[in-house]
Amino acid sequence: MYEGYAGLIFDMDGTILDTEPTHRQAWNEVLGRYGMRFDEQAMVALNGSPTWRIAQAITELNQADLDPHRLAQEKTQAVKAMLLDSVRPLPLIEVVKAWHGRRPMSVGTGSESAVAEALLAHLGLRHYFSAVVAADHVVNHKPAPDT
């Protein structure tokens, strides 16, 4: 199926790793500190967006007087503490393993690079990828194809 491609790029969150439940849990924890909640349906369109953009949408939706960058930092710290214990690879990781050494492979993610690198290393998956392109590496975030 992949023979015709010179290289393979995999999305991380929700494609090779089951990170979404942990991200939601981290948002709920952080927002609970401020009496806010994470409205999953309202946030679906922002899946894969950088954390600060989601934080900005949440503060606007809740009409909260909070710095979205500070809120994003709090969420990133919360998710870092949770991810290593909770995230597991999804079945597509078998494609990564099967094609390792046969094609160059990389990961694109809407997560911050520190989170992505730590998670891939912790799960013993980082060595499969020649590059990890994260939200803090690009100017144009999802839905643009940069990550």
Range of the domain at 39: 20-86
Mean pLDDT by 10 residues, the chain (147 residues): 93 92 92 88 78 91 93 91 89 97 95 90 96 88 67
CATH number at 119 reads 3.40.50.1000
Annotated catalytic residue 11: yes
11, 18, 39, 136: the active-site residue: 11
pLDDT for 131: 97
pLDDT score of 132: 97
In a domain, 103, yes or no: yes
Which residues lie below 8 Å from residue 5, measured CB to CB, with a gap of 6+? Answer: 103
Largest CA distance in the chain: 52
The count of domains in the chain is: 2
pTM, full prediction: 0.78
Nearest to 40 by CA among 57, 18, 65, 63: 57
